Every structure is written in structure tokens, then in C-alpha cells.
Amino acid sequence: MQQQLPITIAPDDQFSDALKPLVAELEMWINFQALKADWYSNEDCTLSFDFTLVRSLAEKTQGLCAENWVEASGYTYHFESSCLSTIAFIALDDLVHLGAGIEPAIKMRLINVANAIAQQHGLVPLTV
């Protein structure tokens, strides 16, 4: 049986299947970064992240209780301390309008969320 990675990334249903290769690459990349930073050495403190790539945050954040979510430019997330799990939405529409450099910008948003949580647990920050 295959074990799920601690950090998952999935595109919202609004995206075509053409995004899947990039998503798979990003997921492998960020899990490797976490492995290099030794995030998985303490099994009692293994953080998990469930990232969803969305067109815009407005679509996903309606109805969410703002006090439980942290919102920044291009992403929003909620950390559940009881299970060391983070749900995050990463917006892409503003990046598409910028043109080139979409992948590095997505990586920065993933890293920003992951490091915000990691810092609370004394873990080494991830780098791009």
C-alpha cells in the first residue's frame, strides 16, 4: 500500500488536466525540500499540508471564518494544531496576468505557508 506524502498539492476542479504535470512536480519538489530540512525526523511532530491551487481566493474564502484563517497576498491557510494539519489555498489568477515566472511564484507561496507553520514548531525553514 502506498503511503501519502505529508505535503499534497491539488488543482481546483476549475483547472484542466494540463496543470497536473506541474502539480506533480511541485508536490515532489516541496516534499523533497521538507525532507532535506529534516522535517520528518520526529514522527510525533510531522506537519501535513493540503494545498489547493485555485483561480482566486475570493471563490474559496467566502463563508470561511476569518479568525481561523491567515490571509496574505495570493494565499490563505488554516492550521489545525490538534492534528498538525494545514489547509491552504494558493491563488493563480494574479500570477497568470504577470506572465513568465509562474512556477517560481507558486513555489514562493507554498514555501511562505509551510515556513509560517514550521516556524511555530522550531523547524528549519524551507528555501526555493
Domain ranges (residues) in the chain: 7-100
- pTM, two decimal places: 0.91
Phi-psi region of 74 (alpha: psi -120 to 50; beta: other; left: phi over 0): left
Average pLDDT over residues 83-100: 88
pLDDT score recorded for residue 94: 87
Give residue-wise pLDDT tens across range 38-61.
999 988 889 999 999 999 988 776
Give residue-wise pLDDT tens across range 66-76.
668 999 999 99
Whether the pLDDT of residue 65 is over 80: the answer is: no
Instruction: Check: CB of residue 42 under 8 Å from CB of residue 84.
Output: no
